[in-house]
Structure 1
Amino acid sequence: MENESEYKDLYKMLPKNRETRQEDRRKLALKDQKLERSKLQDHKRLFLKEFLIAERVKEDSGKKVLFQNKYNFPFSLQFSEWLKEKPDNLNRWFLVPCPKGQRCFIVACNNITEVYNKEGKRIFYFHSKLPGDGVLRNEFSILDCIFCRELKRFFVLDVVCLGNYNLQHCDATFRRFWLKSRLDENMNYNDSDSSYTFILIDWVDFEDEEAIKMNFYKYPHYAENFPLLDGFLFYHKDASYTFGVTPLVGWLFCFMIPEVLGYEINAIYSLEKPADYVNYLFYINEFDKNQDKKIRERRSIIKSEFKEETDVLEETEKIFEKERFVLENYYDIHSSEKQKHFEYTEVDSIHMIE
């Protein structure tokens, strides 16, 4: 399709087949993931081996560093869909309150900790005590985070690898358990000279009804209301970490909770509704339209910049070609004159001998 955006998986989105119920796609996704886990039983460390042996591309300090180019390894953050339907088995889900900030992933490897945005471009790097940096330099880690720049704080959302353990195909319940236990055991991850800290975001089990209600009523979520609460993610307990968009992770803004899930929320969150708010489905549709428009505009700018760079390169190549032509002619003429001079000198020498 001509207008299809290549960046659609970088934000919350509706499924391409909008007629298919989310619940049906969730069941299909869980079935596929279960089959994938069984295939990988004898290859649990495949991800680790491929990552560690992947050829590192030499960095050019003058260019932006891309994860794909540097590590030559396919990776994408996991992205949510809008939670358009209340799941049939809500007790099989976690509620995850998310602070406002920049979505990113952290890679600790080869004695450095790098921060990449959701498009895979490196934002900056520093030193931490995560496995792969600090004392455990022969290991590596990949964390899914939300970065609050003002606080220099990473709110850890999920984990893909930690200390050479590949957790991508583990279910969300185990990933959460492993991440929490490692962070609790190794609080010195935060004792780095860099001053960046790691905070584990709470995951609340929907089986704990009181805790769920408390989270929807809680205001502010963070001390002094900073950072602000952005909204809520919903993780299926049995879901693997998916590279890209998955129906097994949902997203809602706070003011949508009563309509979709039937829970009451703190009245302050209702004030976040836009003035022209109709209902959550209409809001989602308008939100996605605006996102599509922004992406198209951004894509157009990128194409324009690329065309300008291409034009400059072509013009530079023409200049070089002219210079090469001049130099080649100069050397041809110069060589020809030298040859004539040599021939004249040789004739004179013969006459002198005679």
Structure 2
Amino acid sequence: MDEVLNKFDTVLNCEELRGDQKQNNYESLYKNWGKFGNQEVRRKEILSIQKGNRNHELDSLRGLLELVGGVKEDHIFKSQRVAYRPNIYVAGFHKTSPVYNNVLMLSEWLIEKPEDFNENWYVVPCPTGVRVLVVADNGITKFFTKNGRFLMECRTALPGGNPTDINQRRGSFCVLDGFYVEKNNTMYVLDLLAWNSQPMTDGETEFRQYWLKTQLQELGDLYKVSKKNKVIFQLLPMVSCSMESFNNFMMKYPQFESNFPPLDGLLFYHKKAHYVAGETPLVGWLFPFMVKEVLGSNVTVNSIHELQKPSDYVTQADFIQKFTAKHAKRQNRSRRSSSNIMETETVGCKDRDQASDSAQQQEKITS
């Protein structure tokens, strides 16, 4: 663990020099359509930075790995010593951890077809669910929403996620990114931040996906509920955007068996992207009915996706402006109501109170 933190300290000094530039690039991307311009230019700039610094953006996760492996309390709300500190103070504990807030890598709306789309991009179908950060450490696995809200905890077969794991005695931990769907108790794994106490954020998308696939396959217990694993883990498919592969992907319906969970939208990953905290133009988001408009009329799309287009849909730009305004109002309502919600219990995998149910709905993402 000390080696990991020393690595993060070194990167922190380098990244402070670029702090203002990063803030200008990513701040308030969803507030103004014009700020999405020059996506291609910003992609090339970020890829250029990555070539010169293999540890790019690791400082963003420094606090996360400091916390992982360091908290030994049995109950996350039990003591004020727990590193689950204030954003909003409610009845003696704090609802949101500043460490787990703004950790996940989030997308921008994809508003233009990348120049290297067919050569260097992947597409991932995203289920309708709650975007979560999964932290397996100290013999327990905890789930947090993208805003750092504690969602639930349970045992899993992930490294560090179960007290019977032999590796737990060596301080092993694991951090994943994905979507949790409560109805089928399944965690759809999207990406990887750390595995067996090793940070993976400076690896390219291709490497992270290869590592995820091989490691999850070795842990066969993750695919079923058992005494040591209380949540089903399923790796989301990441498909090449070569013309043939992408057309075949867009013609497939449903993306998930029996159309459950329903498809929410599509994430597009650049093959060379490192894992960074916050929005990045190296990850794009589209609803399926936007694909032809943005990626070209030569793309074949299943007619069912076209039928899901809203009746008042005009253009992608118009949709994003309306969507952003609606999302902002919902966030404001959530902030006003959050002070009236009293959450006093840790949530188990199968025991979730009404307040947590409400919180899940508020955290439902479109990435």
Q: Which bracket does the TM-score occupy, shorter chain normalised?
A: 0.7 to 0.9
Match of 2:44 in 1: 27
Q: 2:152 pairs with 116, 121, 124, which one?
A: 124
Aligned alpha-carbon RMSD (Å)? 3.1
Contact kept? 2:107, 2:283, Cα under 8 Å: yes
**What are the ranges of 5 or more consecutive residues in structure 2 without an aligned counterpart?**
1-25, 79-90, 342-367
Contact 2:29 2:36 survives alignment (8 Å): no
Residues 69 and 173, structure 2, Cα contact 8 Å, conserved in 1: no
Residues 133 and 145, structure 2, Cα contact 8 Å, conserved in 1: yes
Q: Which residue of 2 aligns with 1:93?
A: 121
Aligned-residue identity in percent: 34
Aligned-pair CA distance for 1:220: 1.1
Deviation of 1:35 (Å): 3.2
Structure 1 residues 19, 180: CA separation in 2 closer, same or farther (over 3 Å shift)?
A: closer
Residue 223 (str. 1) matches residue 246 (str. 2): no
Residue 201 (structure 1) aligned to one of 206, 231, 236: 236
Alignment partner of 2:220 out of 165, 187, 190? 187
Distance 1:40 1:158, change over 3 A: closer
* 2:188 is the alignment partner of 1:155: yes
Post-superposition shift, 1:13?
A: 2.9
Q: Which amino acid aligns with 2:244?
A: E
Which residue does the alignment assign to 1:310?
Answer: none
The answer to whether the Cα contact below 8 Å between 1:65 and 1:122 also exists between their aligned partners in 2 is no
Q: What is the aligned residue count?
A: 292
Change (3 A) 1:147 1:68: same
Which structure 2 residues correspond to residues 294-309 of structure 1 after superposition, within 5 A?
294-302=330-338, 305=340
| 2:56/2:202 contact within 8 Å kept | no
SS in 1 for 2:285: strand
Q: Return the structure number with greater relative CO, CA threshold 8 A, min gap 6.
A: 2
CA contact (8 A) 2:139 2:161 kept: yes
Q: CA deviation at 1:293?
A: 2.0
- Contact 2:32/2:321 (<8 A) preserved: no
Distance 1:197 1:203 in 2: 19
Tell me the distance in 2 between the aligned counterparts of 1:118 and 1:256.
25
- The one of 229, 242, 246 aligned to 1:212: 246
Within 2, Cα distance between the matches of 1:51 and 1:244? 19
Q: Quick one: structure 1 residues 172 and 77, their matched pair in 2 at CA, closer, same or farther if it must change by over 3 Å?
A: same
Displacement of 1:52: 5.1
Within the candidate set 137, 141, 145, 1:109 is matched to: 137
Structure 1: unaligned runs, 5 residues or longer: 1-8, 307-354
- Is the CA contact 2:55–2:202 (under 8 Å) kept in the aligned structure 1? no
SS at match of 2:76: coil
Distance 1:275 1:305 in 2: 36
What residue number does 2:283 align with?
249
Are the structure 2 counterparts of residues 102 and 38 from structure 1 closer, same or farther at C-alpha, using a change threshold of 3 Å? closer
Q: Does 1:234 align with 2:251?
A: no
Task: Tell me by how many angstroms 1:277 deviates.
Answer: 0.8
CA separation of 1:75 and 1:51: change in aligned 2, threshold 3 A: farther
| Partners of 2:258 and 2:244 in 1: CA distance | 24
**2:57·2:276 contact (CA, 8 Å) conserved in 1?**
no
Following the alignment from structure 1 to structure 2, what is the Cα–Cα distance between the partners of residues 119 and 151?
23
Question: Post-superposition shift, 1:141?
Answer: 0.5
Change (3 A) 1:129 1:261: same
Structure 1 residue 66: Cα displacement = 5.5
TM-score (norm 1): 0.74
Distance change >3 Å, CA 168–CA 128, structure 1 → 2: same
Give the 5 Å matches for 1:237-316: 237-262=271-296, 263-302=299-338, 305=340
Distance 1:285 1:167, change over 3 A: same
Give the distance between the partners of 2:101 and 2:327, measured in 1 at CA: 25
Distance in 2 of aligned mates of 1:206 and 1:104: 26
CA separation of 1:162/1:28 partners in 2, compared to 1, >3 Å: closer, same or farther?
A: same
For the pair shown, which has the larger CA radius of gyration, 1 or 2? 1
Aligned counterpart in structure 2 of residue 82 of structure 1, from 100, 104, 109: 109
Q: Tell me how far 1:117 sits from its aligned partner.
A: 1.0
Residue 53 of structure 2 corresponds to residue 36 of structure 1: yes
